[in-house]
Amino acid sequence: MNGIQEAVGSIPSGSTNRDTMKHRKCGVFSFSAYGIMVVRGSENTSLERGLAMTDQKNPRISLETLERFMVDVLVGVGLPTEDAEIVADVLVTADKFGIDSHGIGRLKPIYYDRIKEGILNPITTIEVLREGPTTAVIDGHHGMGHVISKRAMEMAISKAKEYGMGMVAVRNSSHYGIAGYYTLMASNAGMIGITGTNARPSLAPTFGVEPMLGTNPLTFTMPSDEEFPFFLDCATSASQRGRIEVYARMDKEIPEGWVVGNDGQSRTDTHAILRDLTTGDAALTPLGGLSETSGGHKGYGYTTVVEILSAALQGGAFLHALSGFKDGKKVPHALGHFFIAIDIESFTSLDAFKKTTGDILRALRASKKAPGQERIYTAGEKEYLASLERTKYGVPIGESLQKDIRELVQELDLDYDFPF
């Protein structure tokens, strides 16, 4: 069991090779909606992070089956088994937490297809360019971002254990999945974990309409004395492409304020937006939305902080150089990341820190609720509740994702008995 599994419960090992997966019966759960509802500020409860509703069109597949399947697909496209297991663990953790925008839905378009196109290296080579007692800079040579990032956070944790703090900056990496996977590594080691990454341009500056910055998550995890840590994993944009893709798979319009058009007005036409984000005819908005009045300049500022820390420390690419295109041809995205681990016991006892953190979170949840609201949540609570439900009942698979899975089964000749 790895550190992420310790935080949210056991995920059976996906350690297997492609041949052993032939004729395997898939774990599936198919039923109407039930269970705990968790949403993030949307009336469309089935689309938000948390416990997604499901029906007969969206059968549920067990976490262990999804993980085994992803390992087989990744090995089939050229990853070493050990690396495939790391990538699959990051993706299935997203699905387990209810972060559907970064789970198995990303397997084909973001990883499998890019490997086939030659812009993502399935063989990851990690080069340490510079290293000191508390710091390091590494080059991922356009390999798998998950493998690079796990190694980077391991280095940061090791340095923090010896010197109190550790930070590792990365260049020439690729999409690394949910950022919170790596901060959970630090939290499970009794540390504060922080990470951020830049991304291909999709977000416009406040008062602008041109995609310049990425969604650039800034993520923190801190251990508590509760069943789950304080776990804040979110983009510095109002939303991000992965969430819009979830809406597209459900053929739903996105909420107002997530995307701005060239005319400076909010857009909600999901399918056209996904096309126009690629061409530059639409852009995501920063946290706070379109204007300074709504606080958009604050999100814009935090997005820029992540861009600087993901590029300037490591001599990496930034802004339009992360687009994935050069002279009209597809090229690696050359993403940068940073990872920070802070040893709590260099400041205070771990137990005291956990208790204070837990006291803060409990006080927030016990505070006066707005009329009509049944519950106040703290960061990480919805993901924890989702992990309990999905461990028991599996992950709902929508029709669009079913199509991707069928294509992968056929292309790699994998005999999975999926119910679609």
Q: What is the pLDDT of residue 275?
A: 93
Instruction: Name the residue range of residue 77's domain.
Output: 3-117+379-412
Name the token pair of 395: 């992950």
Q: What is the pLDDT of residue 345?
A: 98
Residue 249 lies in a domain: no
Residue 146 lies in a domain: yes
Contact assessment for residue 188 and residue 341, using Cβ atoms and an 8 Å cutoff: no
Contact assessment for residue 155 and residue 168, using Cβ atoms and an 8 Å cutoff: yes
The reply to whether 111 and 133 lie within a common domain is no
The band of 241, judged by pLDDT with boundaries at 50, 70 and 90, is confident
Cβ atoms within 10 Å of 207's Cβ, excluding its own: 12
Q: Is the confidence at residue 102, as pLDDT, over 70?
A: yes
The reply to whether 204 and 232 lie within a common domain is yes
The reply to whether 133 and 106 lie within a common domain is no
The reply to whether 66 and 136 lie within a common domain is no
Contact assessment for residue 340 and residue 191, using Cβ atoms and an 8 Å cutoff: no
The reply to whether 291 and 181 lie within a common domain is yes
The reply to whether 49 and 81 lie within a common domain is yes
Residue 136 lies in a domain: yes
Contact assessment for residue 145 and residue 335, using Cβ atoms and an 8 Å cutoff: yes
The reply to whether 151 and 292 lie within a common domain is yes
Residue 278 lies in a domain: no
Residue 299 lies in a domain: yes
Q: What is the pLDDT of residue 151?
A: 98
The reply to whether 96 and 169 lie within a common domain is no
The amino acid sitting at 29 is: F
Q: Is the pTM of this model over 0.75?
A: yes
**CATH (domain of 391):** 1.10.1530.10
The band of 149, judged by pLDDT with boundaries at 50, 70 and 90, is very high
Name the token pair of 191: 């540390």
The band of 40, judged by pLDDT with boundaries at 50, 70 and 90, is very low
Report pLDDT digits (tens) over 301-341: 999 999 999 999 999 999 999 999 999 999 999 999 999 99
Residue 267 lies in a domain: no
The reply to whether 186 and 73 lie within a common domain is no
Cβ atoms within 10 Å of 193's Cβ, excluding its own: 30
The reply to whether 347 and 393 lie within a common domain is no
The total of structural domains in the chain comes to 2
Report pLDDT digits (tens) over 245-286: 889 988 999 999 999 999 999 999 999 999 999 899 999 999
The band of 190, judged by pLDDT with boundaries at 50, 70 and 90, is very high
Residue 367 lies in a domain: no
**CATH (domain of 141):** 3.30.1370.60
Q: What is the pLDDT of residue 26?
A: 54
What is the share, in percent, of the chain residues with pLDDT greater than 70?
87
The number of C-alpha atoms within 13 Å of 333 and in the hemisphere containing its C-beta is 23
The reply to whether 75 and 153 lie within a common domain is no
The reply to whether 175 and 210 lie within a common domain is yes
Residue 86 lies in a domain: yes
The band of 3, judged by pLDDT with boundaries at 50, 70 and 90, is very low
Contact assessment for residue 122 and residue 147, using Cβ atoms and an 8 Å cutoff: no
